[in-house]
Amino acid sequence: MSKYLVIVESPAKAKTIKKYLGNDYKVTASMGHIRDLPQSHLGVDVKNDFEPMYIVMTGKSKLIKSLKEDASKAERIYLATDPDREGEAISWHLAHILKVDGSTPCRITFNEITKNAIANAVKEPKPLNMNLVDAQQARRVLDRIVGYEISPVLWKKVKKGLSAGRVQSVAMRIICDREQEIEDFVPEEYWSIEARFARDDGTRFSARFYGTNGKKLEIKSKEESDAITSLMKTASWHVSGVKKGTKRRSPAPPFITSTMQQEASRKLGFSAHKTMTVAQQLYEGVELGSEGSVGLITYMRTDSVRLSDDAIKQARAYIQERFGKDYLPGKPRVYKTKSAAQDAHEAIRPTYAEKDPESLKGMLTTDQYRLYKLIWDRFIACQMENAVFDTISVEIDGIKGDPLRYGNNHDVLNFRASGSRLIFPGFIALYVEGRDDEEEEESQQLPSLEEGEALSLEEVKPEQHFTEPPPRYTEATLVKTLEEKGIGRPSTYAPTISTIVSRGYVERNKKQLVPTELGKMVNRIMVENFPDIVNVNFTADMESRLDSVEEGRVSWKEILREFYPGFMETIKKAEQVIEKVEMPVEKSDVICEKCGRTMVIRTGRFGKFLACPGYPACRNAKPLYEEAGVKCPKCGGKAIVLRTKTGRKYLGCENYPKCDFLSWDMPSDKTCPKCGSFMTQKTSGNTQVLKCANPECGHTEEHAKERKKKST
């Protein structure tokens, strides 16, 4: 019989921990929360000082009975849920159910699931941290009140199934505000002039127009561009300045939750939800052959960049062994966490630096391997030496007229060129941080130019441009913005995005988050009638106040007492002033085969679909297919755009199930020269990559993507 009972959240976590504790310990799982607020009503006794009315969650009765039996046989119970607010609350609820005195040393926490971490945690159990519990209760009750009071207003005034939330509604406002900026944007014309120069030895390089007479000049029209290019043709050219230097580039810090989600979106195409799901698997434990279940990364919900001394030592040892001493800085790199962050945990890192991704590749799923490699590479790189570049910037002057009268009432045309050369890769040998914009950094290798050197002008390339609106948010840039503005916390980014997508407020278009007409309408109602709830500063301040509960400086019920009266006044006013909104019905050209009516387009949980307007007399409904604009490579039918439950788009065939074509990527009209399968196309910067759809083949081709020139 086991002396000690250890309770965690998941079976995977239990399995990993069990092998480190021995036969005296029984490790079991609560399967997440066991108590929560009821779904059928508010579940908060407002008149009794906002007392939560917790109930046992549906389907958890048998599990609780089993936990009670195990608890009755154990000499001691350890509550080992996740080391954050949510985990502390789960332990508190477990303590209540199992009649464990939370003021006694019953709580064990660890940032990583390793033998040492588990052993140390068991040696030093602590009482429940009620400040953490109260911070979670404050957030849960506050979110419940906001959601349960505003959502029915939306149901009455718009339609059933809508929702509002303290964080989700602010996220929607941010997305809608950006969309409005895009719609209001008026493009402005501007021109660039690129020139190609040659030296006496035939060496050629490019430079861009800067201005005239040493002053920067913006070219606003074709007339201005033509005037400058005309002057250029008869000017004499020379190098007027050369500046050489060295640039050092430092590695990015190790991952926190938000930066991991951003980078996984940029580099892997993962949604925030998918990133957290896969990270959870890596944290809780993955089967590694004879080693059994092994936790491969530290806890994945954190906003701290701090690293343990032991982790840094492991990284430095690995760097010296694999890359050599030149790649190892004289001192370990120490990263400072911003003041607003919670520094209870380490950054996200591998638990064992020696377990490089390639050594585990055959034992991980594709997604696990890709995310683990991203985390591992980032961690090792953050302790590597700087990358070093030689830089050169060149100023070129074109003199119109007699060179002997240089600068005397003559137009001097100024061109500039810059280039860099990597002379020591440092951390770049392993990892380079991704970029949110799709533009590629262009750099050229400049020749060794000397000041005063004469040049000849070979080619002039004027090009028309138009200013562009700000880009739509992607998951990566939205998470970054939410973090910068103090909206939500590491645990809320992924569920917030998932919610606004599932509600039909936002659609994913490739990586962009595009507000739907429904989303815009709900946002307008929220902005006009609940200004505080969708106010960025108000929400950020509330997050700060919730943090103060965790720090023990404020009572969580005090926050509710201050918030509730004014909020309910707003609710009463909104119910009176908001007029019933009739959602416009989008008609299709499809005839209902059951009753002959013209079907309409409606939006459901998983996107748009065709429905008969004769409902409920006629309940006919069917999927709405968006044509992809290409033929199915298997049968020649139309390729159609489909969506997963999370809103991610993929391609299928209109002739399904007769044709089983499915693809994440757009098919091309080319066939693979190796195996004869169809090729898919991906675009990165200015390069289009054609990849064979047959995973066993792996053939790829590249060719330059045409630059899109903008015209009037």
pTM (whole model) above 0.75: yes
Active site amino acids? 299
pLDDT of amino acid 689: 80
Tokens of 285: 């434990």
pLDDT of amino acid 703: 57
| Burial of 380: CB neighbours in 10 Å, binned 0-12, 13-18, 19+ | buried
pLDDT of amino acid 143: 95
pLDDT of amino acid 489: 86
For residue 522, the tally of other CB atoms under 10 A from its CB is 27
pLDDT of amino acid 712: 34
Cβ-contact 97, 23 below 8 angstroms: no
Backbone angles phi, psi at 337, to 5 degrees: -80, 135
Question: In the chain, which stretches have pLDDT less than 50?
Answer: 340-341, 343, 402-409, 438-441, 685-686, 704-712
Which residue is associated with the tokens 């994913």?
A: 508
pLDDT of amino acid 684: 52
Q: Residue 274 and residue 281: Cα distance in Å, rounded?
A: 11
pLDDT of amino acid 607: 62
pLDDT of amino acid 697: 78
Distance of alpha carbon 471 from the chain centroid: 15
Tokens of 222: 């074709």
Q: Residue 7 and residue 319: Cα distance in Å, rounded?
A: 38
Tokens of 83: 């080391």
Helix axes 517-529, 168-184, angle to 10 degrees: 110
Which residue is associated with the tokens 């750099």?
A: 443
Helix, coil or strand: residue 668: strand
Tokens of 417: 């060129």
pLDDT in tens, 324-379: 999 999 999 999 877 544 546 799 999 999 999 999 999 999 999 999 999 999 99
pLDDT in tens, 68-79: 999 999 999 999
pLDDT of amino acid 148: 94
